[in-house]
Structure 1
Amino acid sequence: MTAVQPAPATGQQPAPGPQPGPQQGPPDRRRPTALLKRAPDAPPSGVARLLPRTVAAHLRTLTALAIVLLVALLAVTWAAIANAREGVRVIGHDAGPQVVATGDLYFQLTDMDAQLANALLIGGAAGGGREKALARYDDNRLKAGDALLKAAKLADERTEENTARDVLDALGRYERLAGQALLLDRQSDRASGPPSKEVIDLYRQATDLMKLDLLPKAYNLTLDNGTLVRHTYEDERSAVLSGRTWIIIIGLALVVTLAGFQLYLSRRFRRLLNIPLALATLGSLVLVAAGATMLSGQADHLRKAKEDGFDSILALARARAISNSASADETRFLLDPERADAYEQVYLSKSQTVLYMKAGNLTQYNQAVQNKISWEPGRAPFLGFLGTEANRPTESGEQRAELVNALNKVLRDYRKVQANDRRMRDLVHNGQRDQAVAARSAAAADFAEYDRSLQELIGIHQKEFDEAVKDGDDGTSGWYAVLPAAGVVIALLVLAGVRPRLAEYRWSR
């Protein structure tokens, strides 16, 4: 028998089929769309945040880069020009002329002592030789005073001023001793023969003061300013050459930037050529080329002023002064027999300083000098000041020929001077002192010719020095006005080339 299910309490029959569960709403069709929506881009981080991401930003960045490089180019060029001008000022107008002035002072002092010795050696002999020597002594004294005043005016440091003051004081003491020796010699009314012992003692004091006090201090003035010239030349010329290198590097970077800017604009805005930018690029290229060329010229002017002019002038002025001092030692050799051996050895030392030839004594030296010396510029077989001059490189053929001819004349005259010295000493060694004194007087003309030859050679280098300094002054003339003007023009051209493109970009948006 089958069991019967009871009816629901409500009295209603349930619907056949499965019973519905809890009531559910219509499906949400927006949910899948929301799930598929693209997430926003993450903000850039690190270096990427600094990079321009829009066309306008690109334009502004390239413009700023070009302006910065332009300012750097102008600043480096300005500094290099300042270095060049400072080098020319010190070498050509300040320390350089001061060195030449003190070199002249050194010569005048040595010639004063030489003429004092000549006046005492000649005495009251007929012919007026003593009066001529004293006239030259007074002339040298005045020139030495002028050179000392010029050196003092050019002195720009306390030590130089003190040295110049010490030289002036020592010069006064020397003149007092020289005056006493001359007065005592005149009172002796000596017509021939050596001066009295009292006169010799006074002269020894005077010449020792000259050699041990005056000349070293005068040379210190030359040495101090010569060192300043050398350091200035090395520092400023190196700075000029470094500035030229940086001008080329920064200038090429600027030109490349402007060229890249031109290419970017042509691709982005479909324009074949941006004329203002093209002119700015051309102007930058011209400015770089002109600046580098100018600095190369300035470095060459500094080199010529220092090496071809100043160095030779200083060396030859020293050779002239030492030659004159050596000539005075010949007179001292005759004037003071007790010190004759010492004066002979000093003469050899000074002669080898002027032109060095290997020799153990004065006789060997004279023989070596009298032998014909064959030499070529840059390969001289002798040293000393004249050897330095012979080995100095030269550039142009005309300049080289002029210098070689002038130096050959100096060497020929120097051989005559040494031959006269040998003749005079042979007479002394043979007991013929009066003939030696006469030979010494006769040899004065040959020494004067040798001195003129040295002055002519110095004059050639002085001309080179003056020309190099003038070219250095003219080489930077006007550049302090050209640089800012060129910078403004190039900057305006860059802005004129960019401004329309920025406006076009804003309009297209």
Structure 2
Amino acid sequence: MPAVIEATRTIARRAVRPETPARLRLWATLTVLTAVALLVSLSLLMARVQQQVRIIGDEAAPQAATAADLYFALSDMDAQVARMVLTADRDELAGSQIDALGTYQERSRQVDADVQKALSAESDHDRVLELMGHLATYRERVWQTLTAGDAAAGYYTQATNVLHLDLLPAAKDLRDSSTERLSQAYARKSATEGWAVTVAVGLGAALLILLVALQVWLARRFRRVFSPALLTATALTVALIIPAVAVLTLQASRLSEARDDSLTPFLALSRARAISYDAAADTSRFLISDNLAYYDDDFKRKSTCLAAGGSCGPTADEIEGGLPSVVGGPDVSPFDRDQVLTRWQAYRTDHERIVGLARGGKEEEAVGALTGIRRGDASFDFAYFDAAVADITAARSTEFDQALSDAKLVLTGWPWIPVAVLGLVIFLVPLAVRRRFAEYR
């Protein structure tokens, strides 16, 4: 037993003596293990960030855009039905009737396509099925409206009630759900980026310290010049860590700015367009309902909402800050907020004139002012307003797509770059100490 204890003590003393191979082996092993830990963690985290960017670009953002587009298309469908009811049996307005029917059919196809896309999100399956049930009821009421002749106004009231009380709330729930998933996708990506930066800086700094300490120890202990292999490994580590942190920071900043300056305004503009179409339909509904004051009041609520924000009515959506808050931002279109608001105010003036004509018993003139295609007529002024909003909406969408493409490009190859660089570092460390071990043989 004493012999065993003495042998153990001898081995321990040799292991801690700085001139022994055990000390050199300890340095090299610790350095290689740190490099391996950095390689595995950084590669996995970079791959995860890349995957989360794809989820945002290929799933979360498109789903949010689809839900917003669905809400808009439904609002315009009802507006076109109102136009068809208003222009029915008026030969002089046959052109408007045909245009309204064509637009209704186009929006109907758009709704069907959006519903099919929405079904791809498993978490929204029940919401989509509920919406499809309301949509079937709405279309039945629309068919009854278009075939009811003199009773069309009554059936249209039922159709628009289904839209506002059932269909649009279901679409809003779907849109809110997809928007929440988008926010969660951004939050998860941000958390992964934080871990990746922490790993890159923490383990990267530890690896650099070990490489430099090993280099200095070898130079002092063996009285030789610095090892080219360790110098190369140190340079490779620096060349990996700095770009990795820069890439993570750059793509995070680019996508965050794109979300705030492009994607969020794009979604808000889609809501604003839906509200504007629904408000424009209130002008037609006012005439269809024989001057029911509710539709004039409803238009005023929506118009005020578009101009200044707030609630757009008991059955309507809302937009925070109104058009100025979502039209403003980066200069991505030839239209500014003042132009857009001016164009909307022109339509509001048209609405007030039409309401005044209708209340004065001049129904034919009111319908003509609503359906006319000259400047100063409601149809023209609304199309003029909508063209500006549509242009800005498309510009916001394009800008976000470009930012997403930039982020994907910046991240290209990064799950494998740490493997290549740190794999070489792991190879160079044993190579640098191999000759020192040979001196003890």
Aligned to 1:495: 430
Instruction: Specify the alignment match of 2:387 in structure 1.
Output: 452
Partner of 1:172 in structure 2? 136
Counterparts of 2:309 and 2:246 in 1: how far apart (Å)? 44
Using the TM superposition, name which of 262-271 and 473-482 deviates more. 473-482
User: Matched residues in 2 for 1:438 and 1:201: separation?
Assistant: 22
Which whole-Å deviations, capped at 9, do the CAs of 1:27-49 have from their partners, x for residues lacking one? xxxxxxxxxxxxx99959xxx99
- Secondary structure at the counterpart of residue 240 of structure 1: helix
Distance 1:110 1:49, change over 3 A: farther
> What's the RMSD between the two structures over aligned residues?
2.6
Q: CA deviation at 1:318?
A: 0.8
Match for residue 348 of structure 2 among 397, 418, 440: 418
Alpha-carbon distance, 1:236 to partner: 1.0
Match of 2:316 in 1: none
Instruction: Mark the runs of 5 or more structure 2 residues left unpaired by the alignment.
Output: 1-5, 314-318, 372-376
1:242 Cα deviation (Å)?
3.5
Q: For 1:401, what is the secondary structure of its paired residue?
A: coil
User: When the two structures are aligned, how many residues end up with a matched partner?
Assistant: 421
Structure having the higher Rg: 1
- The residue type paired with residue 295 of structure 2 is Y
Of 117, 124, 146, 1:150 maps to 117
- 2:17 matched to 1:53? yes
CA separation of 1:74/1:351 partners in 2, compared to 1, >3 Å: closer, same or farther? farther
Name 2:301's counterpart in structure 1.
349
How far is the alpha carbon of 1:454 from its aligned partner? Answer: 1.0
The answer to whether structure 1 residue 278 and structure 2 residue 245 are counterparts is: no
Distance 2:216 2:368 in 1: 90
- Structure 1 pair 299/357, CA: closer, same or farther in 2 (3 Å)? closer
Q: Do structure 1's residue 114 and structure 2's residue 114 form an aligned pair? A: no
2:83 & 2:15 partners in 1: Cα distance? 87
Matched residue SS, 1:402: coil
Shift of 1:155: 1.7
| CA–CA distance in structure 1, aligned partners of residues 320 and 136 of structure 2 | 37
**2:220 corresponds to 1:254:** no
Asked whether 1:213 is paired with 2:177, we answer: no
- Aligned counterparts of 1:42 and 1:136: Cα–Cα separation in 2: 91
**Residue type of the partner of 2:414?**
W
Specify the code of the residue in structure 2 equivalent to 1:180.
Q
Unaligned runs of 5+ in 1: 1-39, 186-195, 362-381, 393-399
Change (3 A) 1:87 1:301: farther
Choose the corresponding residue for 1:386, options 305, 319, 323: 323
Displacement of 1:83 after TM fit?
Answer: 3.4
Moved more, 494-503 or 245-254: 245-254
Aligned sequence identity (%):
29
C-alpha separation in 2, matches of 1:127 and 1:463: 37
Give the SS at the match of 1:124. Answer: coil
Question: Which whole-Å CA distance do the structure 2 matches of 1:250 and 1:43 have between them?
Answer: 34
Matched, 1:136 2:66: no
Alignment counterpart, residue 464 of structure 1, candidates 399, 410, 415: 399
SS of corresponding position for 2:68: helix
1:229-269 CA distances to partner (integer Å, 9 max, x unpaired)?
Answer: 00110221232133213311221221121111111011000
Structure 1 stretch displaced more, 83-92 or 279-288: 83-92
- Residue by residue over 1:41-69, the C-alpha shift from the partner in whole angstroms, topping out at 9 and shown as x without a partner, is 9959xxx9998334322211211221222
Distance 1:176 1:57, change over 3 A: same
Cα offsets for 1:435-477 (capped at 9, x unmatched): 2222122311111121111111011111111111212222222
Match of 1:375 in 2: none
Distance 1:261 1:117 in 2: 81
Map Cα deviations across residues 267-323 of structure 1 (whole Å, 9 max, x no partner). 000012111011000101101012111111221233134223321211111111111
The one-letter code of the counterpart of 2:70 is: L
Give yes or no for the alignment of 1:304 onto 2:271. no
Q: Distance in 1 between matches of 2:320 and 2:351?
A: 21
Alpha carbons of structure 1 residues 303 and 58: separation in structure 2 relative to 1, 3 Å: same
Q: Pick one of 93, 98, 108 that aligns with 1:127.
A: 93
1:91 matched to which residue of 2?
Answer: 56
Secondary structure of 1:94's counterpart equals helix
1:199-210 residue pairs with structure 2 within 5 A?
199-210=152-163
Partner of 1:322: 275
SS at structure 1 position matched to 2:226: coil
2:201 pairs with 1:235: no
Query: Aligned partners of 1:436, 1:50: CA distance in 2, in Å?
Result: 104
- Please give the alpha-carbon distance, in whole angstroms, between the structure 2 residues aligned to 1:253 and 1:358: 53
Whole-angstrom CA distance in 2 between matches of 1:288 and 1:451? 49
> CA 1:343–1:403 in structure 2 vs 1: closer, same or farther (change >3 Å)?
same
Counterpart code for 1:387: P
Report the CA distance between 1:390 and its aligned residue: 4.8
Indicate conservation of the 8 Å contact 1:233/1:306, yes or no.
no
- For normalisation by structure 2, the TM-score amounts to 0.88
1:233–1:302 contact (8 Å) kept in structure 2: no
Q: Tell me: CA distance 1:480–1:243, structure 2 relative to 1, closer, same or farther (3 Å).
A: closer
Q: Which has the higher helix share?
A: 2
| Structure 2 residue aligned with 1:4 | none
The answer on whether the counterparts of 2:357 and 2:363 sit within 8 Å (CA) in structure 1 is yes
2:93 partner SS: coil
Q: Does the residue aligned with 2:16 lie in a helix, a strand or coil?
A: coil
Shift of 1:406: 4.3
The residue that corresponds to 1:366 in the other structure is none
Amino acid at match of 1:479: W
For 1:348, the aligned partner's letter is: K
Once the two structures are overlaid, the 10-residue window that deviates more, 171-180 or 312-321, is 171-180
